[in-house]
Amino acid sequence: MQKKEYLLQPGNPYPSGAKAKNKGVNFSIFSRHATQVELLLFRTSDCIDPFQIIVLQKEVNRTFFSWHVYVTGLPVGTWYAWRMDGPNQIRETGLHFDKAKQLVDPWAYAVSDKKWSRKAACKPGDNSLTAMRCVVVNDRYDWEGDEPLRIRSEKAIVYELHVGGFTKHPSSKVKHPGTFSGLIEKIPYLQQLGITHVELLPVMAFDEQDVPQYTADLGLKNYWGYSTHSFFSPHPGYCVTPEQGTHVQEFRDLVKAMHQANIGVIMDVVFNHTAEAGSDGPIINFRGIGDDIFYHHDKHDKSILHDYTGCGNTVNANHPLVSNFIISCLEYWVREMHVDGFRFDLASALARGENGEVLQDPPVLWGIELSEQLSKTKLIAEAWDATGLYQVGSFPGYRWAEWNGRYRDVIRRFVRGDKGLVNELATRLCGSSDLYGYTGRLPINSINFVTCHDGFTLYDLFSYNEKHNEANGEDSRDGCNNNLSFNYGVEGETDYPNLLAFRRRQVRNVYALLLLSQGVPMLLAGDELLNSQQGNNNCYCQDNELSWIDWNGVDKNADMLRFVQLMIALRKRHPAIMRRRFLTGKPVEGRSIAEIQWHGLELNKALWDDRDAKVLAFTLAGTDVDEPDLHVVMNMSDHQVIVELPVIADRPWCLALDTSLQAPQDIVPPEQQKPVREKLYPVSTRSVVVFENGPV
């Protein structure tokens, strides 16, 4: 039977990628130096032989640097790849064309890695047996009126999670573990927890095979996903039916379901490097299309890639074409996928110019900030890179929030029991005005966190003195060495009841401080269930029960889950904790109380000059007469302290929480609170106590 050959038209350079329209598909791809371009069409994702090879003609199918063709009658669901020929002058120009290599479309909306071999792509020549494939997607979708949410940043409570690991554990009991669909089933849990946004570890299509060989030999893979190759495509591994090209629909289903639950979706995005790694890395897309443009090269020897990311290459983000690619990609995820924001991995790498120099006003970062389509989205920077550029407090732009590493460190040290931190602690609790206030930025520019995917879990922070990453295959050389952790006498697991109780108290202390701080709190998924990674602080390759969420913790550690739920609820009922502007200490309008008053062992006598101080207290006034005031005492010393409660105009204090007490007395909802009749209150060692009062 003769195979059908689809008729061709010249096509259009815009939009890039594959776009179905008018009963056909327009294909367009950028390559400045290609001398020959072929489009390969396949019936399925794993077909070896294309059913049609379309050789593009320079005179007909090229406009400036875009190669394009319109295939009449081609149906949605057709799989495709590109081949390109051109100069292969790696040392002289950085160009890396290989006419036999099948390439992924950088603008593809869905890709399949079913037969992918990273090793084959690293070798020159034909990789048709093991190449990734792209698919023409059906762009129709019923959003049912959905739009990106507009939750104000000061009201945000971010919950960082891994799409796969959140539901892969057998205890999750979802229909499709480890997928977007599985996460949808857990939305009721997220609602009950009380968070406002999920921050998803990378969900753009990434290379799961991108790990060191000795790690791969252990049967491990790239789990976290910081190895993106297709920035417009949802990761096929998180889809139920990726071979049917349902990536876009499945991700949209997740976003729509989250929005129906009033939960925003923030994506962790990796534009600082790609899965193509160093000079010996695979040719996937960018290297085979325009290596000289997309990556930073040594100016004398173009075969040498500058690596500011620790991953082998650095995206040349401020080249006009690359900058346009990044901004267009972000706008696509907002416009077409309705996401609510982005967290940028190693974002400081995007501040480097084409020669690697640090730019004062990087075009790509300002382009993102000033994009009208991105104007209502959350922009969060990991404000450093892997070669020492550290921009916390000085990241270019004004709307960008930053992962506040200084907040993380001072909270860890204070709760651990380090002395002399009360001055900086007060600054961090109030939104880090020293970092953001002087430039006209706000408390919402500070993303406050104590734990994240990268490092110890919160429970492990108080269970291990040292990292234990032996399972990663690198003799525990990987991962951060400066964890600011403490095991309190026993490394790891223990049966000592008193020690177990104390570790749980420390976890409560961290949650209390985090959720009482001005700025935007970020929680790590599983910490509320006392999730442990057995001391591994770098589970990037552990797609197994070591890093999956164990849902048995919902029952086993119900007291901790309850504490976090009620602590989030406490924050939400106090606008005074969720201020958009910095506290001034001035009197509240209509009341004889300042916005905030600081105390030490005595009222109004904070221990600012005491280098041994481990006690700090403050009284936070409500924003109006109807909002209760708060009085907070933090005692991380080794002994109990007796504190006096301030007197505020006929408003009796009620005990809201005391982390030294056992559940359910550790935190008390308003309807169950009772007035404290005594003027003095004993605050136990290593504990946080919070009082609320009511209106007159």
Strand pairing category for 615-620 and 680-683 = unpaired
End-to-end, the C-alpha distance of the chain in Å comes to 88
* C-alpha–C-alpha distance, residues 36 and 57, integer Å: 8
Asked whether 630 and 691 are in contact (CB, 8 A), the reply is: yes
* 345 catalytic per annotation: yes
Dihedral sign from CA coordinates of 642, 647, 650, 656: negative
Number of H helices, E strands in the chain: 17, 27
Catalytic residue among 105, 382, 595, 629: 382
Structure-token pair, residue 595: 């916005």
Task: Give 204's strand partners.
Answer: 234
Q: Find, among 163, 370, 134, 136, the residue nearest to 255 by Cα.
A: 163
Structure-token pair, residue 29: 């791809």
Asked whether 624 and 684 are in contact (CB, 8 A), the reply is: no
Task: Give 72's strand partners.
Answer: 24
Structure-token pair, residue 149: 């949410």
Residue with tokens 């550290």: 390
Asked whether 34 and 65 are in contact (CB, 8 A), the reply is: no
Structure-token pair, residue 462: 């108080």
Q: Which residues contact 481 (CB under 8 A, 6 or more apart)?
A: 467
Backbone angles phi, psi at 303, to 5 degrees: -75, -15
Q: Find, among 383, 393, 425, 384, the residue nearest to 408 by Cα.
A: 425
Catalytic residue among 250, 345, 550, 629: 345
Structure-token pair, residue 431: 């939104």
Task: Give 81's strand partners.
Answer: 40
* 147 catalytic per annotation: no
> So which residues are the catalytic ones?
345, 382
